[in-house]
Structure 1
């Protein structure tokens, strides 16, 4: 793929002819000048640049996506077409490419099986537009993402990822944490009046991780908390938002991505971050320029639900200081006001379903009942005895937990575009998506495995065909016994058919313990048994 000569490019006008799905420019972007120059240099020399984290061994928060965003806005006038593609899930890639087909004016329908190959061919030939730039953001699965690259053509590709295996197939650009001077500059930009000395102390405690520095600056600006008190919180607190890790459309809060050997922001910091995310999407509802795919209503509805859950947990279970109580009260007033704001009813319903589904599967994958409670639940199912009292759930040991992507939750983001895609993915891979000319990539040991595609039952559940989904999840369990995904899906489908059984979703690990020694043929009996007999507390 050869770049166009400079004289053939569009005159710098500040905007390309077609630009879509690009996140808003960050007004607080600081430093990174050498990295931005390196992106420009590498794109001049090669067709694909992979922006990767450096020295953090796969941890997020170093700002790879922010560098790509800044590059796009600084060089927007140099390209005819710029398209940002969320690449965490194949369904999101396909939805973005289908939108690009419409933007290019291609005479194809919205279905991915016709739109995607048409887009790839248009980009390969440079018709109707050459000199394009695609950004595949958060592209962890190399094989999957590369299959959507155009096979040659007059354009460039940027990939942002935590997967360092991209170094084998693209020109890498490693992104490290901030220099100390960059951390101090960002902290003082966000928190006016913060001294250079205190900013340096905060930067050191935060490891100069850009996402942590950004959140700390916003926190200080909002609360005025002295640096000494903030540093004490970093020493004493540990993350408590494990259950509320967000869906794939947004990077993890800093509390969830730091190595345990570092200082960790706690629940208060996580709550503040959640409010900021919810407000970000609230401001973009109805703004087609900032939200060309119309996803803001769903994202806002989802984030305000998750944020309210965090705040409720803080208010009822956390030992807060006086300033902490005042902060939680203020954030709660804000979010309660947002919950009263009208949002598209379909988006709200999807957000509720996505939040419930994520919570159920997270608990099944990460929590288990104690031995005594587990034995009592099994006995209750076999003998008809009362279920045992609710016990304190135990965290599954880290060695037994596996990487998990919420593929079912991702379908709620774009159900209109994703359904056709997922139906095709149930069988052999969609023939419309041809593999690139390069040889296929072998995933090395220690690299995240290929994302599991949604199963047929997921599609049925999203469509509202709960009875058929319930049966399909049972069949899926027979194919993959012990997989929490079909068990969680079955519970979601079952409670959609039996709303009175929704109590099962609060502690799904109890249901899993009750049926652990049984097959899926007893699941319905177990659900009726456990839902009908509330356990003593």
Structure 2
């Protein structure tokens, strides 16, 4: 704490801790390591903020921002009640603010909020710490979008003449008040109950005794969202009740199916920042190392989805904590960092992003591996499908990254442990239908990604198109196409087939996994889905093939249709050369078809063209 000369511990990553994080969640010692390191990191960021603002502080219309008062109050609170300060310091949104403020001071973050408001948030942090410590004090805090915030406690509603202003916080004998233009508002520390003009930070709670878990449901703090802060969006009471109900069921589920994860999660997750519900089976969530312990999450479809999301984001939290301590990969000094295929994303990802995804989906796959056997009153096929899909996706990701030249020795060891666990899961039995659907959706996602983002060279494409026009028996014997990455920003919703399969399995519980009545009707509810996707998901590959061909007749350049056609041919068991080409290298067919349209004025027959291109494929 600036002014209190703290002695910071030295942090490292013992080998056993690395193994524990790779193999599971880690015991209390590992969580202690991550939490202690994060606390030290935030103290260092506070010190850096003090250093960067000590020679000049931006001014408000009324004069300089009183950061000296904030530092002094923080130091007093730390001397009186260190745990009270730690509660505010370790809150996820405090970490997000610290990192954001430092980026702003360095000129690395563009934002319209006045700098004095950003830096003045330190006063709000100090006021919350002082209130928790029971101190007497007076301090001015910023008002954003009509709210004067006290992090971890709540916010007072302020009627102000301008967008950016300040309010006075006064604490005397345990009573805390915020003076606003429309009167004084009393703060209610550690209470979910509101008072006139006061909006408390609300909490959701579940479990009892040693299993009790409480999470802040933060809809007030501007730094609850990233990469940019946002205005408060107060949840209606009925939505809070919905969150509470789903959270209770999710927590019971995690205690039953993932007890070790749940134990660790009670210490490593601290807040949910809710956003509106997404499309069914497409929850939205995010976390960042800057906001260690916080999760930005959409309202879930059900308890199972929320449990899986919690596991997913907790994995991100742990890996972010580890990366604050050590490097798993070397920085790329080039101007154009390499981008790789991530089976859970629409866009190509840098190495660091792919590693984050691998670790997150190791947790998700582990969750479904267990939950598929214990689901009560739910569709068992859906759990088996999720497990089959994600283990296939993970294995694909490992293939592209385990020998990457930028991995450090520690990173290579970490990934080797993860890969070994995934390899063991490949032998786990899965019923035929959900297993086949999982493999089909994994192949479809990869094919759609390739069709969108990869391009053979113009030279290869033109030469191959000419050989087709000349009715050559096959393309050139060489399989080298000079394929390069050409990111396509229009690539969206590459998981459409998997989403449709989830609708199918959820909607056909008790009616047989092969039922497909009214399959195409689901397309309207799944963004990015084609009619052929719905037919393929419903187990009608012949109809799907016809639909994809009709789509390609209307638009020969449709990436999703090319990828889907390969899946339909595979499922139908016809045209094996075309099916393999479109599954493994759909970008070749798409590129040559585009060249044919440009040079000859008409496209080739998609199946015949793909089969012809498939005659010179390299062995798998």
Query: How high is the TM-score relative to the length of structure 2?
Result: 0.47
Distance 1:234 1:345, change over 3 A: farther
- Residue 612 (structure 2) aligns with: 529
How many Å separate the matches in 2 of 1:392 and 1:53?
Answer: 50
- Residue 521 (structure 2) aligns with: 424
Specify the SS of the correspondent of 2:530. Answer: coil
Q: CA deviation at 1:350?
A: 0.6
- Residue 319 (structure 2) aligns with: 219
- Match among 498, 513, 516 for residue 409 of structure 1: 498
- Match among 484, 490, 494 for residue 394 of structure 1: 484
How many Å separate the matches in 2 of 1:60 and 1:343?
Answer: 42
Q: CA deviation at 1:229?
A: 3.2
Q: CA deviation at 1:214?
A: 4.8
Q: CA deviation at 1:510?
A: 0.9
Q: CA deviation at 1:339?
A: 0.7
- Residue 488 (structure 1) aligns with: 563
Q: CA deviation at 1:78?
A: 12
How many Å separate the matches in 2 of 1:51 and 1:414?
Answer: 31
2:344 paired with 1:246: yes
Distance 1:286 1:409, change over 3 A: same
Question: How does 1:53-132 map onto structure 2 within 5 Å?
Answer: 75-76=244-245
How many Å separate the matches in 1 of 2:614 and 2:495?
Answer: 26
How many Å separate the matches in 2 of 1:60 and 1:291?
Answer: 38
How many Å separate the matches in 2 of 1:40 and 1:292?
Answer: 36
- Match among 501, 507, 531 for residue 585 of structure 2: 507
How many Å separate the matches in 2 of 1:77 and 1:217?
Answer: 22
Q: CA deviation at 1:507?
A: 1.4
Do the aligned residues in 2 keep the contact of 1:288 with 1:294 (CA within 8 Å)? no
Q: CA deviation at 1:213?
A: 8.8
Distance 1:74 1:240, change over 3 A: same
Which range moved further: 336-345 or 235-244? 235-244
- Residue 365 (structure 1) aligns with: 452
Cα deviations by residue, 1:102-159 (Å, 9 ceiling, x for unpaired): xxxxxxxxxxxxxxxxxxxxxxxxxxxxxxxxxx986457xxx9xxxxxxxxxxxxx9
Specify the SS of the correspondent of 2:397. Answer: helix
How many Å separate the matches in 2 of 1:305 and 1:61?
Answer: 36
Question: How does 1:232-381 map onto structure 2 within 5 Å?
Answer: 233=330, 242-246=340-344, 265-288=352-375, 295-381=382-468
Do the aligned residues in 1 keep the contact of 2:395 with 2:422 (CA within 8 Å)? yes
How many Å separate the matches in 2 of 1:291 and 1:395?
Answer: 41
Specify the SS of the correspondent of 1:283. Answer: helix
- Match among 498, 505, 508 for residue 575 of structure 2: 498
Q: CA deviation at 1:286?
A: 1.9
Do the aligned residues in 1 keep the contact of 2:342 with 2:354 (CA within 8 Å)? no
Do the aligned residues in 2 keep the contact of 1:61 with 1:212 (CA within 8 Å)? no
Question: How does 1:89-238 map onto structure 2 within 5 Å?
Answer: 139-140=277-278, 183=292, 214-215=314-315, 217-219=317-319, 227-229=325-327, 233=330
- Residue 530 (structure 2) aligns with: 454
How many Å separate the matches in 2 of 1:61 and 1:412?
Answer: 36
How many Å separate the matches in 2 of 1:395 and 1:463?
Answer: 33
How many Å separate the matches in 2 of 1:236 and 1:323?
Answer: 20
Distance 1:177 1:345, change over 3 A: closer
The answer for unaligned runs of 5 or more in structure 1 is 1-26, 43-48, 83-135, 146-158, 163-174, 188-209, 431-449
Q: CA deviation at 1:313?
A: 1.9
Q: CA deviation at 1:57?
A: 8.9
Do the aligned residues in 2 keep the contact of 1:368 with 1:509 (CA within 8 Å)? yes
How many Å separate the matches in 2 of 1:235 and 1:355?
Answer: 29
How many Å separate the matches in 2 of 1:77 and 1:467?
Answer: 41
Distance 1:350 1:138, change over 3 A: farther
The answer for unaligned runs of 5 or more in structure 2 is 1-27, 32-89, 94-151, 155-190, 193-198, 204-216, 251-273, 296-309, 509-515
Q: CA deviation at 1:239?
A: 8.1
CA RMSD of aligned residues (A): 5.3
Distance 1:56 1:336, change over 3 A: same
Specify the SS of the correspondent of 1:389. Answer: coil
Q: CA deviation at 1:392?
A: 3.5
Q: CA deviation at 1:31?
A: 6.0
Which range moved further: 332-341 or 480-489? 480-489
Specify the SS of the correspondent of 1:229. Answer: coil
Specify the SS of the correspondent of 1:386. Answer: coil
Cα deviations by residue, 1:76-98 (Å, 9 ceiling, x for unpaired): 3999x99xxxxxxxxxxxxxxxx
Distance 1:489 1:346, change over 3 A: same
- Match among 541, 546, 555 for residue 466 of structure 1: 541
How many Å separate the matches in 2 of 1:484 and 1:53?
Answer: 42
Distance 1:512 1:331, change over 3 A: same
Do the aligned residues in 2 keep the contact of 1:298 with 1:347 (CA within 8 Å)? yes
How many Å separate the matches in 2 of 1:299 and 1:287?
Answer: 14
Q: CA deviation at 1:533?
A: 2.9
How many Å separate the matches in 1 of 2:202 and 2:323?
Answer: 42
Specify the SS of the correspondent of 2:428. Answer: coil
